[in-house]
């Protein structure tokens, strides 16, 4: 099923013509409106008027998350706030989160792209979309919401949490499309069975759009069997637009990138050189139409590849393989991006602890847990359990307020967390995905 067949299946030459025209426009626009890009272009001796072919993009300097953080909050916006109708942000310590804005037109494009995504899973105006992505600064909830509304489906904006209620509503309201993280879908399935439901009989679910965290084919199989649905992988990141950057079709063999709005490249993360199709590398995106905050050659740190050849679904837009890893130390826990440095900055601000820590990530049942092991500082060691528990709670609250996910804090003996020259081992990820 297509939402916009004319675009999604358009002739490849015409698509590339459209991309080139839009690329020239956006490069000229950011050079004029965003000082950061002007500085970067000038420093690299790159003239935006020199672009005559899509391939010329390899001469354009990259942008990174650090650029976005340094531009906090609005310095990378290409329009004034008067034209911005929505602001989203990723979690981060003060002054360190990445902030993105949307003009009215950006929101319309986003809704279009999410309509395509949901239509890939077979969503029509007859469907009831159970949207368990978080609403708020996170782009997941509202992204799905606008796409589903555009299709004309009935949206249940249930957001995350309160699983028991989710299960009951799913049964009582007859939800047909589920939108959430893949791990949460399995947790929902199990909770439903525990509550006495038989998901195949008591639910009307037919498909789910799952993203915001890495998952595997075996997990897809488990979700499809447990909930008796079609499960498709969707991809996006707030810096690019949010969900809606790419999504699988029913072939479930690669995610079609919405190439009329985003230019995808795969590079060797070490050299920055473009990698040939089929080769794994770091995914780089350029937004072709975004108004509020265009991004140019943005290094996502996600590792994937472009799948060569055409797709039986007739869509002509390139397919990227399932994201298989990261080039940095970012963790995705229950759909939320977590950087060890965020936890480090919290610990540095708490006087009673040393910034020596270890993050232990596990998947218990189907939900991720994050344990933060912190060394007790000798100066502040109290022999009263009460004081130590108060310290644990203080650390937990501070970290939770930054990360927006719950964590367990475990105090450990000093000098027991491994020190190493250079890059310290800060993360133990025990998840089997």
Q: Does 360 bind other proteins (CB under 8 A)?
A: no
Stretch that binds other proteins, among 103-111, 347-355, 407-415, 421-429 (CB under 8 A): 407-415
Q: Which of 389, 390, 406, 428 binds other proteins (CB under 8 A)?
A: 389
Q: State which residue, 9 or 361, has the beta carbon closest to other proteins.
A: 361
Report the distance separating Cα 45 and Cα 61, nearest Å. Answer: 10
Q: State which residue, 351 or 413, has the beta carbon closest to other proteins.
A: 413
Least distance to other proteins, CB of residue 385, Å:
5
Q: State which residue, 137 or 388, has the beta carbon closest to other proteins.
A: 388
Q: Which of 11, 13, 270, 384 binds other proteins (CB under 8 A)?
A: 384
Least distance to other proteins, CB of residue 370, Å:
15
Stretch that binds other proteins, among 21-29, 143-151, 341-349, 382-390 (CB under 8 A): 382-390
Q: Does 370 bind other proteins (CB under 8 A)?
A: no
| CA of residue 345 relative to chain centroid, distance | 23
Radius of gyration over every alpha carbon of the chain, rounded to an integer in angstroms = 22
Q: Which of 416, 418, 428, 433 binds other proteins (CB under 8 A)?
A: 416
Q: State which residue, 270 or 383, has the beta carbon closest to other proteins.
A: 383
Q: State which residue, 36 or 417, has the beta carbon closest to other proteins.
A: 417
Residue 73 to residues 81, 99, 100, 129, Cα–Cα distance (Å): 11, 6, 8, 33
Instruction: Return the residue matching tokens 């340094």.
Output: 70
Stretch that binds other proteins, among 140-148, 279-287, 316-324, 378-386 (CB under 8 A): 378-386
The DSSP annotation for 328-358 comes to SS-EEETTEEE-HHHHHHHHHH-TTEEEEEE
| Sequence-distant contacts of 60-65: CB under 8 A, at least 24 apart | 60/27, 60/286, 60/296, 60/297, 61/296, 61/297, 62/272, 62/284, 62/297, 62/298, 62/299, 63/36, 63/37, 63/295, 63/296, 63/297, 63/298, 63/299, 64/298, 64/299, 65/98, 65/239, 65/299, 65/301
Q: State which residue, 405 or 412, has the beta carbon closest to other proteins.
A: 412
Q: Which of 413, 421, 422, 423 binds other proteins (CB under 8 A)?
A: 413
Q: Which of 6, 383, 422, 432 binds other proteins (CB under 8 A)?
A: 383
Q: Which of 43, 196, 385, 423 binds other proteins (CB under 8 A)?
A: 385
What residues numbered 324-343 form the site for other proteins, per CB under 8 A? none
Structure tokens at 389: 């528990």
Q: Does 292 bind other proteins (CB under 8 A)?
A: no
Beta strands in 181-297 (DSSP E): 207-210, 230-237, 242-248, 255-257, 262-267, 281-287
State phi, psi for 198 to the nearest 5 degrees: -110, 105
Instruction: Return the residue matching tokens 């473009």.
Output: 274
Least distance to other proteins, CB of residue 235, Å:
38
Report the distance separating Cα 396 and Cα 392, nearest Å. Answer: 6
| CA of residue 167 relative to chain centroid, distance | 25
Q: Does 351 bind other proteins (CB under 8 A)?
A: no
Q: State which residue, 255 or 391, has the beta carbon closest to other proteins.
A: 391
Judged by the rule CB under 8 A, the positions of this chain that interact with other proteins are 376, 378, 381-386, 388-389, 410-416
């Amino acid at each position: 099923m297509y939402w916009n067949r004319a675009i999604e299946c358009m002739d490849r030459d015409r698509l590339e013509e459209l991309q080139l025209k839009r690329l020239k426009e956006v490069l000229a626009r950011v050079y004029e409106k965003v000082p950061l890009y002007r500085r970067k272009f000038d420093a690299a001796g790159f003239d935006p008027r020199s672009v005559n072919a899509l391939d010329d993009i390899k001469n354009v300097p990259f942008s990174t998350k650090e650029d976005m953080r340094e531009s906090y909050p609005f310095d990378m916006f290409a329009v004034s706030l008067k034209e911005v109708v929505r602001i989203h942000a990723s979690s981060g310590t003060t002054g360190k989160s990445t902030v993105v804005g949307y003009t009215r037109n950006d929101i319309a494009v986003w809704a279009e792209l999410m309509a395509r995504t949901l239509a890939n899973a077979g969503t029509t105006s007859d469907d009831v979309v159970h949207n368990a992505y978080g609403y708020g600064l996170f782009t997941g909830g509202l992204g799905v919401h606008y796409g589903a509304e555009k299709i004309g489906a009935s949206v249940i904006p249930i957001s995350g949490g309160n699983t028991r209620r989710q299960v009951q509503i799913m049964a009582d309201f007859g939800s047909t499309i589920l939108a959430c993280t893949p791990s949460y879908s399995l947790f929902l399935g199990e909770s439903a069975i525990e509550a006495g439901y038989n998901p195949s009989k008591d639910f009307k679910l037919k498909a789910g759009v799952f993203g915001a965290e890495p998952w595997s084919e075996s997990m897809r199989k488990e979700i499809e069997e447990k909930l008796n649905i079609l499960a498709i992988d969707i991809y996006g990141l707030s810096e690019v637009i949010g969900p809606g950057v790419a999504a699988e079709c029913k072939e479930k063999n690669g995610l079609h990138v919405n190439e009329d709005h985003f230019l995808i490249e795969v590079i060797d993360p070490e050299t920055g050189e473009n990698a040939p199709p089929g080769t794994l590398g770091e995914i780089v995106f350029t937004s072709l139409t975004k108004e509020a905050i265009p991004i140019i050659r943005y290094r996502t740190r996600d590792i994937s590849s472009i799948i060569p050849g055409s797709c039986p679904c007739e869509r002509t837009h390139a397919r990227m393989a399932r994201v298989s890893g990261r080039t940095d130390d970012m963790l995705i826990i229950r759909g939320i991006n977590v950087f060890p440095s965020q936890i480090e900055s919290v610990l540095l601000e708490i006087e009673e602890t040393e910034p020596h820590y270890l993050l232990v990530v596990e998947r218990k049942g189907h939900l991720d847990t994050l344990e933060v092991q912190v060394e007790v500082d000798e100066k502040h060691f109290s022999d009263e359990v009460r004081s130590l528990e108060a310290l644990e709670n203080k650390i937990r609250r501070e970290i939770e307020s930054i990360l927006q996910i719950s964590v367990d804090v475990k105090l450990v003996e000093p000098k027991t967390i491994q020190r190493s020259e250079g890059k310290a081992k800060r993360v133990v990820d025990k998840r089997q995905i």
